Structure 1
């Protein structure tokens, strides 16, 4: 069993809110974390048809049978619960009474906003990060393997072959999770979109282009992209809107929450194949962005990451917005630092006068350059301040 970094924040939230919602991708370890953090609480899976039927037909009675609270797994499967939970929580000042988990962010948030706003803490759990995977005995921590395998516990901790696990994951996701959100009549086209997205990792989102390739209108593609976001398959990195008197691009960039899944969709069959693959650079970028997001999520914070690009082609891969200041970061998969790597950051420094800038690369040396840029290895992201 690998201890999760987010457990500290999860238990803290339970001391401050009457209920806590724990969301994240399917199979990211939510149930295991909830049961580990709250071993005294009764665990109830609403994926079980019999239990779900009981909760649907007599919701009040179902909750009355849980006087000490419980862990309610996949709570979005019974939307009626949230209205009744409001009444139950308001009758007591007890903290951390219910822990709700769910793999559908849209349905969870919709019901929480309607019924439990102000009563519930919120934490997002993504698959294992580097700091968690390095605790696994005899695990291959080489960069290509980290990108190829991703962070899902089944692939990393349980060592299930990625060639078998990811296709099964995609099939389960499309046949079950997608139908919960929206009744899509042509699942083959939706699956095609999923594969097309994998080929566009790190690119600006172009709905019209995807619509043409899928043979549907751009509004449909927009709706399907929303489904992929809500179910923690992809995320969009928004543009940084401080334009500094220059015109900037305003389209978000597309990334996957797990690079292992992206590799599987790209038919990359081994870490060694990744070495010469055309998508290695974008996948490296995706991996680093995911690691930085996990740091934020594990602290109970939202992502503060953006990308920046002006119409002249100057760009910075990541801008971390800290309110009073912003940090620019360039991501390069190469193991050797070359002057070309600093081009975007040099322009960024002149434009903003911000002191902190980082180059994150595929090598293993930490450096501080005379231009003020700190060079950080891909596996030393904790050094970023």
Structure 2
């Protein structure tokens, strides 16, 4: 097992809360992490129908078998009826870390957990492996394009499996099982087409009408389907930062896939070299960096403080990141050689007092696909493999 950065936070939250809820996409490593961290507890998956039926039909009897010592309950969204009974038990005995819950449906679980276990549970999110974690694998990626093409699902690094085959199976399982649980999709082929088009639009501002026209559905249906991607942790949106200059700013969120291996599989990119030459490599690399920074926050138990910025005039930053120094602009470049074009938006923003006072432009950062760090005019250029120090 590759050590997970979230382990220390998971232990700390279990020591100070009666319940810990760990969310994340399927196969991100939630079960493995919980079994390793809480090896003294019983483990029960709520995926098997007989176990699920028992939990729903007799929740008291189901929980009684674990006593006050507690249990790891995997995929709690399959038996949300248990939550009210868990509430009663933790209120009565006050034991910390008694119940460890996992789930792979974000909003559904968060809403039900917040309703039943408000003030009783910590909620954490585990995404696939960060590059910092992957670098500890027996055979880490040889270069940036292999890292981006392969993505971060643990199975690809813990076992000898072919990424293109495993990811294709993962997507098929997602379509056949998870999508059906979250929304009534009449035509899975149509949803599959939507998923492929969404992958082709990663790192772009969301346009439900355009996607709807391409798929042949209303923008309201596409909006619902896009929420399913977020619900299952396949994508995340960067909301626009509006500041105090609202009239000039584009107010549309950007959508990013949280695993670029999935993107490459959906787009039929079959190897790292093909990705390096692909016309969408810039967008895919941008989403890889955004996903890494999501993991940076989530692995500390924090909510991602990330936004994007674009003015109607054309000035933009791929990302704004909340840091102790303020809101720091970040540019993301898929080039492997530093050039003066990298810095033009920082220079333009610094020349405008109104903007420079709201953004920490002088401490800006550039993440690029090369290997050599550099600093120019206060702007740090960070290689793709050194994001942990951002």
Q: Distance in 2 between matches of 1:313 and 1:263?
A: 29
- Residue 383 of structure 1: CA displacement? 2.5
- Residue 53 of structure 1: CA displacement? 1.1
Cα deviations across residues 33-88 of structure 1 (Å, max 9, x unaligned)? 00000000000000011111110111111112221110000011011111111111
**What's the counterpart of residue 243 of structure 2?**
242
Aligned pairs for 1:333-344 within 5 A: 333-344=334-345
Q: Distance in 1 between matches of 2:169 and 2:184?
A: 21
Task: Tell me if 1:360 matches 2:379.
Answer: no
- RMSD of aligned alpha carbons: 1.3
- Residue 382 of structure 1: CA displacement? 2.4
Cα deviations across residues 128-173 of structure 1 (Å, max 9, x unaligned)? 1111111111322410000000000112221311221111111111
Q: Distance in 1 between matches of 2:330 and 2:284?
A: 16
Q: Distance in 1 between matches of 2:3 and 2:378?
A: 37
| TM-score (ref. length: structure 1) | 0.97
Q: Distance in 1 between matches of 2:220 and 2:324?
A: 34
How many residues end up aligned between the 2 structures? 383
Instruction: Show structure 2 runs of 5+ residues with no match.
Output: none
Aligned pairs for 1:1-385 within 5 A: 1-67=1-67, 68-244=69-245, 246-322=247-323, 325-350=326-351, 351-353=355-357, 354=360, 355-369=362-376, 371-384=377-390
Q: Distance in 1 between matches of 2:290 and 2:216?
A: 31
Q: Distance in 2 between matches of 1:272 and 1:93?
A: 55
Cα deviations across residues 334-353 of structure 1 (Å, max 9, x unaligned)? 11111111112222333224
User: Does the aligned pair in 2 maintain the 1:329–1:345 contact within 8 Å?
Assistant: no
- Residue 243 of structure 1: CA displacement? 4.2
| TM-score (ref. length: structure 2) | 0.96
Cα deviations across residues 190-247 of structure 1 (Å, max 9, x unaligned)? 1111100011011100011111111111111111111110001111111111143651
Cα deviations across residues 269-315 of structure 1 (Å, max 9, x unaligned)? 00011111001111111111111110100000011011100000110
Taking a change above 3 Å as real, the CA distance of residues 5 and 141 of structure 1, as seen in their structure-2 partners, is farther
Instruction: Show structure 1 runs of 5+ residues with no match.
Output: none
User: Does the aligned pair in 2 maintain the 1:207–1:222 contact within 8 Å?
Assistant: yes
Taking a change above 3 Å as real, the CA distance of residues 233 and 361 of structure 1, as seen in their structure-2 partners, is same
